[in-house]
Structure 1
Amino acid sequence: MGVVLHQTSKNTLIIFLGFFVGGINVLFLYTHFLEDDYYGLVTFLLSSANILLPLMVFGMQHTIIKFFSSYKSKINRDNFLITAIFLPILIILPLGFLGSLFYNFITEILSKENIIIKDYTWLIFFLAVFMGYFEVFYAWSKVQFQSVFGNSIRELFARISISFLLFAVYFHWIDNEQFIYAIVWVYFLRMLIMMIYAFRLYMPET
């Protein structure tokens, strides 16, 4: 119980810090450093990716938390976690194929209200995959009773990285378009860091 309370208190502090950094980004940095159209584009891309996220990973993050403890042997646990990693690919690949097949149709629909979306629609797919697999590996760490690091990456990493990127836009180190692509890289790195950490906590044997 002491471990749970200790991690809960740390996670609560991290969440408050995340809200604080996010508030600074939304209220000050985005509105002063980024053009309005690109601010709206960022919001649209991230919101759309969050909508697709559960579909992309087939709810595996919840499945891991719910059923991992029911497997008692290491072999069964390893097989379960390996399945949790590879099963979403059976969803991601067909969706990616359909998305590329009907890409022009999708972009025309999404860009009716704002034409700027048209050139960046494909980023939604990658953001959703990166966000989804982050949640899978975060759940992986939580079933090992290690949630603080994952929560800090979840709540702080992207927000702080975006703060730096917004300052980079302000100082003209990058332009608005590069900022959009940099955000995708931030979410990729977030997923990669979480994956490495999860594997360090528990590495399945094939």
Structure 2
Amino acid sequence: MGVVVRQSIQNTISTYLGFGLGAINTLVLYTRILPVSSYGLLSIQLSVATLLLPLFLFGLPNTIIKFYNKNASAEESARLNAFSLYFPLIFIFFSFAFVLIFKLGVFPFLLQKYAYVAPYAWHILGIGIGMTYFEIAYAQARVVLKTAFGNILKEIFHRLCIAIGLLGLYFDVLTLEQFFVLLVGVHFLRALVMYVYLWRYCDISFSFRRPEKLKSYLNYSLFMFLGGTAAVVILEIDKLMIYTFVNIDQVAFYTVAVFMATIVGVPARSMYQITAPLTARLLHESDYKGLQSLYKQSSLNLGMAAGGVLLLLAVNLETIYKFIPQAYGGTTVLVLLIGSSKFYDALLGNNNAILFNSPYYKSILRFGVFLAVMTVVLNYFFIPKFGIKGAAIASFLAISLYDTAKVIYVNMKYNMQPFSRGTAYLLIIIITSFALAQWVPDIENRYLSLAVNTLFTAVLYIGLLYLSKMSETFNGLVNRGKRMLF
């Protein structure tokens, strides 16, 4: 676990710095600089681009991770790297054609239905292409366990550029239209920087000869595309459906709530960058004892990290809403529901990596179709009745059922599951810490209230985890921190 812990810590730091910038953007700059409708429009552009991402990627990042270390020769790995560059162009070409037809008014009912978004179709496509090639380059860096710089680009770079753009908008250096163009340019620049890093520091080579395992790559990528689409659908389709059934202003309110809840999932995102290639290696070597150890340790360590974030979020939620415009308030239930689903997702540890890299990867297709259909149906039922709260309920139910199905399936195939006695202790500690935090007196000053609640809850939570001795890794980190401080 040494490599996992070291790079996970590096990735977690950069990811939280990125989320810190994201918090400034989302809770301060977006809500104060952009009109609500413009913020909703921006959210729709990013959501639709993200929905295009699985199509453009076609499962290639997972294919790279699965096959790169299994290839018998460096030449075949170089062919796989090159294949991942030119294959997405097929889907990008057809998307260009569709947007052109759409803009020419061949589908007038779509132009009328999405009239507010239609002028930005090219922007959406450009953002999607930039995202695609960044993710491919990042996957190529991950297979050689070079994740730190890529994670900085993934989490910090574009948010910093957007913050600068928003300030330019505020000081009338940029117009709104120029800001949207800047958004496209930032995603292209991020991909370019990632490829420069890849070529200079990751010892990655490219060969444009036909891969010998082309059929295997295509078959695996197809199933990764079909199954992986589900995760994107559940995260992004709700915003598009809110726009369809309610209005674009509600998309902005929902985006703020989802952002706060998404912070709970940051540790899982950080650790996955390194556990995915390690899981692939353990499966390739049939080291099931090591796999089970990684499964349980990743579950417990991620649960502790995500549980702590959820706890701090729940304790400070009312205070946090005092920092943003009043119009964005009233979404406490949304944050807690989606945050709880992210916590449950973290408790699964490297479950996704096991499924993606196992011989049973085709099962992802069944899970993916199940999740995608359920998400759309639940949103279709709940959003018209309950608005954005309905979208949160639908997401919570869909994610919980989906994650439970994956745990059961891995247990059936490998006779292993991520939970342990430590999981029960963790839940008790989270509930106890939340209950005790309610005794902290109310403080009128929002800055002081946030600081006191955070400090008290964090010290209490870390102390209880340390005393429980449920994780040697966690206690080792605390002891190392104590030695550095004292």
Q: Do residues 137 (structure 1) and 128 (structure 2) align? A: no
- After superposition, the Cα gap between the structure-2 partners of 1:42 and 1:11, relative to the gap in structure 1 and judged at 3 Å, is same
Shift of 1:148: 0.5
Give the superposition deviation at 1:85. Answer: 1.3
Amino acid at match of 2:150: G
Q: Deviations over 1:120-141 (max 9, x none)?
A: 1221111111111111010011
Greater relative contact order structure (CA < 8 Å, 6+ sep): 1
SS at match of 2:68: helix
1:42 Cα deviation after fit = 1.0
Mapped partners of 1:150, 1:36: distance in 2? 32
Any residues of structure 2 matched to 1:47-86 within 5 Å, and which?
47-86=47-86
State how far apart, in whole Å, the 1-side matches of 2:108 and 2:188 are: 23
Does the 8 A contact of 2:18 with 2:155 survive in 1? Answer: yes
Structure 1 distance, partners of 2:112, 2:134, is 28
Residue 204 of structure 1: how far off its partner (Å): 2.0
TM-score (norm 1): 0.92
Code of the aligned partner of 2:197: Y
* Equivalent residue number for residue 193 of structure 1: 193
> In structure 2, what is the equivalent of residue 99 of structure 1?
99
Please identify the structure whose Cα radius of gyration is greater.
Answer: 2
Unaligned runs of 5+ in 1: none
In structure 2, the partner of 1:10 is 10
Deviation at 1:62, TM superposition (A): 1.3
Contact 2:56–2:91 (CA under 8 A) maintained in structure 1? yes
* Worse-superposed segment, 196-205 or 83-92: 196-205
> 1:37–1:116: 8 Å Cα contact kept in structure 2?
no
Contact 2:65/2:139, CA 8 A, preserved across alignment: yes
User: Whole-Å Cα distance in 2 between the matches of residues 110 and 127 of structure 1?
Assistant: 20
Give CA deviations for 1:145-170 in whole Å, capped at 9, x if unaligned. Answer: 10000011000111111111111111
Count, aligned residues = 205
After superposition, give the CA deviation of every residue in 1:16-54 in whole Å (9 maximum; x if it has no partner).
112211111111100111222221111110010001101
Matched with 1:112 is 113
Q: Runs of at least 4 residues of structure 1 off by over 4 A?
A: 105-108
**Would the aligned equivalents of 2:99 and 2:121 in 1 still touch at CA under 8 Å?**
no
Q: Which residues in structure 2 correspond to 1:157-168 (within 5 Å)?
A: 157-168=157-168
CA-CA distance at 1:109 after TM superposition: 1.9
| Distance of 2:149 and 2:108 partners within structure 1 | 37
Superimposed CA distance per residue, residues 169-190 of structure 1 (whole angstroms, 9 cap, x where no aligned partner): 1111111111111111111111
For normalisation by structure 2, the TM-score amounts to 0.40
User: RMSD of aligned C-alpha atoms?
Assistant: 1.8
Aligned to 1:23: 23
What percent identity do the matched residue pairs reach? 36
Give the letter aligned to residue 81 of structure 1.
N
Indicate yes or no: 2:210 matched with 1:204: no
Quote the Cα distance in structure 1 between the aligned partners of 2:178 and 2:107.
23
Match of 1:182 in 2: 182
Deviation at 1:72, TM superposition (A): 2.5
Name the SS of the counterpart of 2:69 in structure 1.
Answer: helix
